[in-house]
Amino acid sequence: MVNRLRGSDSTYLLQHAGDPVDWWPFGPEAFAEAARRDVPVLVSIGYAACHWCHVMARESFSDPVIAELLNEHAVCVKVDREQCPDVDALYMQATIALSGHGGWPMTVFTDPTGRPFYADTYVPPEDRPGRPGLPRLIRAVDETWRNRRGEVVDMGEKVRGMMELHSAPVRPVPTVDGIFDRVTSALRDAEDPVHGGFGGAPKFPPSATLLGLTRRAERTGNDRVHALVGRTVESMVRGGIFDQIGGGFARYTVDAAWRTPHFEKMLDDNALLLRSLSAHAHATGDPLAARAARQTAEFLCSRLRREDGLFATSLDADTEGVEGATYRYTRERVSTALGPGAEADVDWICSVLGIDEADAEAGGSVPGLRRDPEDLGRFLWIRDRLAEARDRDPQPGRDETATTAGTAMVVTALTEAADLLSGQNVSAVRGSATDALRALDRLHRAPDGVLLRFRNGSHASLADLAWLGVAAARTAAAASCTGDTDTTTDCLRILRDALGQIEDRHADPDNPGTYFDSGTAIPVLGLRARDPFDTAVPAGVAVAGEAFLTGAAVVGATGDTDTADRWADRAREILAVHGEVAGARPLQAGGWLCLGEIAAAGPTRAVVTHPAPDALGRLRPQLDSAAVILGAGSGCFEVEGPEPGDGPAVQICRDGACGRVVPL
C-alpha cells in the first residue's frame, strides 16, 4: 500500500500516516481513482487537536479489519480543516443538511464528482443503540452504491445544489438603522442568567460577540451592556474552561456552567478571547478580566509560539492518550508540586480552586476559581509553583501548523493587549507580535508574491488576508508610537498588499459588497466557498470590513486619501448589503456587531505629536478600545494643521472629520 500522507506538512495527516487505511490527500487524483474503480469516496475531515478524531482513529482507522473494509469499498481521503478551511466549510454544510448536526471528525461519503450522499460526525467501531457502527455503515453504503445508484445520484444532486447555494452571494438586504439594537436585544434574551454566555450546553466562548458588545457599550455609554459582557467574562474566567494554572482557554465546556472543558486549546479561540478581555478590561477597569488577559497573552507566547516566530494552531485535548490529564488535579498532585511542609498551602489552594478528592476516580478536579483569594500574592506564588511542576510532566501534543489567519489574530490580540493593558512585559509582547508579522511576510508567500495560508501551501483565504490587514494596521500604529520607522513602513506595505489581494482575488465583481472566502475554485467541487455567518471565528467578510475600515484610518494619516476613501467605501459596501445576516442569526453575528460598532464610532483615530509614554498613558483611557493611536513625526503620519507648541499634542479624527490639534 502506498503511503501518500508520509510526506505531508500537515500534523493531522501525519497522525494518520501509519494507518492501515489507504488514505489519499484531497485532490483530483483521489476522485479519479474512485471513478476508475467505480466506488464512492470517504472524505474524513478533522484536525490535530480533536479528541474525538483521536478516538475514531484509535478505534476504527487503526483497526485492520475496518481498514480492509474501507479500502475494498471506497477511496479514502483525509482532509486537515486547518489547511483546507474552504473544503471543510462546504462539506460541513452538507453534513448538517444530511445528518442534522455538525462537528469533527466529519465522515462524508461522496460520489466520484465530490457530491455527498451520506454524512455524519464521529462513527463508533461497532453498533450502538440508535446508530450503526462503521463496519455496518460501510456495507450499507456499498449495497446502496451497487444496487440503488439512482438514490445516490438523486441525493448527491440535491446536496450539491445546497452547496452551490452556500457559494452564492447573500441576498443584498441593507443594514438598516437599529439592526444592532435588535441584535443586542436578542442577545439579552438568549443570555444564561445564571452562568453567563448564550444558550445551554455545550457552551462555547462567544468571543466576537463579547468584543462587539463592549464596543457598543463604549459608544453608547450603556452600562447594562457592559454588565452583560461582564457576567459572561466572570463566569468563564472563574470556570474550568480557563486554565487557572497555565493560562489560556479550552475550546468549550460540555456543561452550561463553564466547569468541565473539552480540553483542546486552540490558537484562534485564545487570540479572540484576548481581544475581548483586553477591551472589556480597558472599558470597565475589571481586574479579573485584565489578569486573565495577561495570563492568556503569556500562554500564547510561551506555549504556542514557534521558533520561527509564527504561532502553532493548537494543543491536544489528550496527554499520552488520556483526555485532560494535564489539566486535572488531585490533592496528591498539588502536594507533590509544592513539596514537604506545605500542608497549609495545599489546603488553601485546593479550597480556592475547588480541588476535591471526590474527583480522584475521574482523574482529578478541573481547577476553577471558586472564591477570590484573600491573599493574591500567595495565590500567584502557588500558581507559579504548580505551573513549574506541570512543565516537568508529560505534555499534550502540539499542532505545529501555522496559518496566516491564526498568527495574524495573535498579532492583533497581542498588539491590542499591549496598548490597552499596563504591565511589565509590554515591550516583549509587542516584540513577539512584530516578529510574527515579519515572519508571515517572509515565509507565507509564493514566488510570485501571492500570500499563502501556510508555508508552501495554498493561496491565502479571505480570512487570512483580512486578519493580516487588521494585524498590519494595528502593528503599524504601535510601531509609530515608539518611533520605529522601519517597522511602521513595513507594516504599511503589508497592509496595502493584503487588502489589495482581497480586492483583486476575492471580490465578487457581479455583487458589490460580497466576497469569496477562497481565492480560487476548490478542486473537484468547482465551487468557491463563502459564509457570511460566524462559526468558531468571525465571518471572513466581516473581518475584511474591519480591515478596510482600520486600514483606511491608518493610511489616511499618511496623506493617501484616495486609498483611504476607497477602503472606507469597501467597508461601508460590505456593511450595507449584509443586514439580513445580522438580523437572521444574532447569535452568529458577533463579527458583524464588531464591524458595525467600529463603523458607527468613526472609527476613532488619534495622531499624537511627540508621543512620549506618559502622554500616551494620559490619552489612552480617554478613547474607546478600538481607537487607532498613531505617532506623528516618524516620516509616515502627520497631523493636519498647526501644532500648539513643542510638547505632546493630539488630533482626533472620526469618520473622516478631524478636530484641532490640541495639547496633550
Residue-range domains of the chain with CATH: 11-166 (3.40.30.10), 179-317+399-605 (1.50.10.10), 327-393 (no CATH), 606-663 (no CATH)
As given in the structure block, the three cell numbers for residue 217 are 457599550
Partners of residue 203 on adjacent β-strands: 253
The CA-atom distances, in angstroms, between 600 and each of 571, 593, 603, 606 are 12, 10, 7, 16
Q: What is the DSSP letter of 586?
A: G
Instruction: Look at residue 358 in the predicted model and tell me its pLDDT.
Output: 87
pLDDT the model gives residue 167: 84
Ranges of beta strands (E only) in 98-240 are 106-110, 116-120
* CB contact at 8 A, 275 and 413: yes
In 3D space, the residue among 434, 463, 464, 496 whose CA is nearest the CA of residue 591 turns out to be 463
The C-alpha atoms of residue 114 and residue 33 are separated, in whole angstroms, by 12
> Which tens digits make up the pLDDT trace of 464-517?
999 999 999 999 999 999 999 999 999 999 999 999 999 999 999 999 999 999
CA dihedral 226, 232, 233, 235 (to 10 degrees): 140
Average pLDDT over residues 556-581: 92
Indicate if the pLDDT at residue 634 is higher than 70: no
What pLDDT shows up at residue 175? 65
pLDDT tens for 269-324 read: 999 999 999 999 999 999 999 999 999 999 999 999 999 999 999 999 999 989 99
Kindly state the cell numbers that stand for 473. Answer: 494596521
The amino acid at 382: I
What percent of the chain is predicted at pLDDT more than 90?
85
- In sequence order, the β-bridge partners of residue 118 are 109
Q: How far is CA 134 from CA 59, 70, 97, 117, 124, in A?
A: 10, 9, 20, 16, 6
Element (H, E) at 657: strand 657-658
Prior bond of 663 cis (ω within 30°)? no
Bond before 447 cis per omega within 30 degrees: no
Pairing of strands 322-323, 398-399: unpaired
Give burial (CB, 10 Å; 0-12/13-18/19+) of 402: buried
Q: Which residues contact 146 (CB under 8 A, 6 or more apart)?
A: none
**Mean pLDDT lowest among 39-43, 365-369, 588-592:** 588-592
Q: Is the pLDDT of residue 45 over 70?
A: yes
Q: What is the pLDDT of residues 438-464, one digit of tens each?
A: 999 999 999 999 999 999 889 999 999
